[in-house]
Copies of this chain bind each other. A is one copy, B any other.
């Protein structure tokens, strides 16, 4: 237990447990890494994108197929596919006019499945 007299200007209160804060502070991963991590979860934390990913678990699909499947217009799907592509979660191949998207990462299915397990245990 370690209190200082004046409240801290940063957080607006005193440090109650300086020893714990110091210990945890050292063990915490770098900000940079944690930001990347939260960005990754942000990508899969969207209902449209998570549906696209689940669809691609089953089969590669073209933009038009996905749009029809999800009952959304082509533009919205195309925008979201770009997000997934930029994040390295999907890749594509072109065949004439048609662009086929598929998964580009083995871990993603694993992580989504873990999420489902989490939900089922709550």
Residues of A within 8 A of B (CB): 8, 10-17, 20-21, 23-25, 27-29, 33-47, 49-51, 54-55, 58-59, 61-65, 67-69, 71-75, 77, 88, 98, 105, 107-108, 110-112, 114-119, 121-122
Q: Which of B10, B44, B72, B115 contacts A11 (CB 8 A)?
A: B72
Beyond A17-B65, A61-B20, A111-B118, is A45–B39 a contact (Cβ under 8 Å)? yes
Query: Chain A binding site: helix, strand, loop or mixed by DSSP?
Result: helix
Chain copies in the assembled complex: 2
**How far apart are the CA atoms of A117 and B13 in the complex, in Å?**
36
CB distance from A10 to the nearest CB of B (A): 6
- Given A24-B59, A34-B51, also A117-B107 (CB < 8 A): yes
Asked if residues B15 and A55 are in contact (CB atoms below 8 Å), the reply is no
Pull 21 A–B residue pairs with CB atoms less than 8 Å apart, ordered by A. Answer: A10-B72, A11-B77, A12-B74, A14-B64, A15-B64, A16-B65, A21-B69, A24-B69, A25-B69, A28-B58, A28-B69, A37-B50, A37-B115, A37-B116, A38-B45, A38-B46, A40-B115, A41-B45, A41-B115, A107-B118, A108-B118
